[in-house]
Structure 1
């Protein structure tokens, strides 16, 4: 049987994707609906200015996808660094307000003009009139921005709600932290023991070599 500590450690990846920055639920209609998220950045570049986008893609996007599985998320490897959000709504005025929704961070972003989304042709026998759907894109430049700034911008523009950790998962998280601390302490003890053993073996080797030299000189 697998020991308890190992079984509990198997929960770590699940907890990591369930909670934290990016773990949020997008609002339902009539709020503008986020229908596509496209992130572009040089994925093979390790400069400091690219660290924020890299961490956002690694940590926040998986959590957002976990809680919103129907949301199409695309990450592209390009030289430009941008995060593009596509919104749709039957309420044109709600899309107009997106650009000014919570500008407290003063992040410079760009917004496309509102367009009417092409509709599927109605059945010939149908007499109902389709409601027009409007669409608009918001684009944030990512170069040099911290992952927290990127998330706050997305959070404000989408009006998503953070997912709070449940009491049961909080208990499990604390237990895992305790196991991690104990494991780290155990590793330090093992390392100290191995270092002492290596030192003792080195001293014994020197002593034997010294004894052999004395024997040969006698």
Structure 2
């Protein structure tokens, strides 16, 4: 029996979603979707470098394609981001965590800065033929204190390093590009293998989607009920005020 079948049988679809274990929802969202892929063993690390804000071409690493795409001018694009930004997937907050989930041993760093005019680049490091010197360098790197090792940053202090001995780097220009295009190029250049949901997970994901759709209907019905009730209360209050005004005028 699926977890959903054991948990869900209330009157309200909104209550049904609330009864689902958060861990199940989070795990399904993390395990599958854009970014759920196994990277080849040659990849040693991934580094993303872009600005803190979306403008000046830095929307690709942060947002999906905007309504109207590249045909929007600056003000219309800014408005589109304000209206849709919260609903849009952020490449580095959805794809990267999924990649990390399926490839936990590969370092994945994000370096953001206030330099809006700077580049937005993803660097993918590949291991070349493992030489004795390369193995020694890797061992030395592992001996570096944790505080001195590269880490993610919001102040631009950890830019993409040069490839080490025995490494080569492939870059992806993310500036003025949408996240889907970035992801497609990433998959093509890395040769990653997409992870498909298991049959049981497909069933659970379908059940969750159906519950969400029914919950949306449930919320719409409840909203209409509340709006109608408030409108009736306003009409009654207005009628009382008019009746009181008439009574006062006739005194």
Deviation at 1:16, TM superposition (A): 1.4
User: Is 1:90–1:134's contact at 8 Å kept on the other side of the alignment?
Assistant: yes
Three-state SS of the structure 1 residue aligned to 2:171 is strand
Extract unaligned runs of 5+ from structure 1.
Answer: 93-115, 123-132
Q: Which residue is 2:191 aligned to? A: 159
- Indicate the structure (1 or 2) with the bigger Cα radius of gyration: 1
| 1:104-129 deviation per Cα after TM superposition (whole angstroms, max 9, x unaligned) | xxxxxxxxxxxx7373599xxxxxxx
User: Is 1:9–1:176's contact at 8 Å kept on the other side of the alignment?
Assistant: no
User: Is 1:83–1:142's contact at 8 Å kept on the other side of the alignment?
Assistant: yes
Q: Does 1:56 align with 2:56?
A: no
| 1:16-48 deviation per Cα after TM superposition (whole angstroms, max 9, x unaligned) | 1111111101224xxxx11111101112x1327
Deviation at 1:50, TM superposition (A): 2.0
Cα distance in 2 for partners of 1:190, 1:153 equals 44
User: Is 1:8–1:176's contact at 8 Å kept on the other side of the alignment?
Assistant: no
Q: Does 1:88 align with 2:117?
A: no
Q: Does 1:37 align with 2:39?
A: no
Q: Which has the higher contact order (CA 8 A, sep 6+)?
A: 2
Cα distance in 1 for partners of 2:46, 2:244 equals 74
TM-score normalized with structure 1 length: 0.74
Aligned-pair Cα RMSD in Å? 2.5
Q: Does 1:23 align with 2:23?
A: no
Q: Kindly indicate which of the two structures has a greater share of residues assigned to strand.
A: 1
Q: Which runs of 4+ in 1 moved over 6 A?
A: none
Three-state SS of the structure 2 residue aligned to 1:27 is coil
Count of aligned positions: 179
Three-state SS of the structure 2 residue aligned to 1:47 is coil
- The structure-2 alpha-carbon separation of the partners of 1:51 and 1:121, relative to structure 1 and needing over 3 Å to count, comes to closer
Q: Which residue is 1:46 aligned to? A: 54
1:1-218 equivalent positions in 2, closer than 5 A: 4=8, 5=16, 6-8=18-20, 10=22, 11-28=24-41, 33-43=42-52, 45-47=53-55, 49-54=57-62, 55-78=90-113, 79=115, 80-90=119-129, 117=134, 119=136, 134-218=166-250
Cα distance in 1 for partners of 2:112, 2:225 equals 47
User: Is 2:172–2:186's contact at 8 Å kept on the other side of the alignment?
Assistant: no
Deviation at 1:70, TM superposition (A): 0.4
Deviation at 1:89, TM superposition (A): 2.3
User: Is 2:37–2:99's contact at 8 Å kept on the other side of the alignment?
Assistant: yes
Three-state SS of the structure 2 residue aligned to 1:75 is strand
- The structure-2 alpha-carbon separation of the partners of 1:63 and 1:196, relative to structure 1 and needing over 3 Å to count, comes to same
Deviation at 1:13, TM superposition (A): 2.0
Extract unaligned runs of 5+ from structure 2.
Answer: 1-6, 9-15, 63-89, 140-164
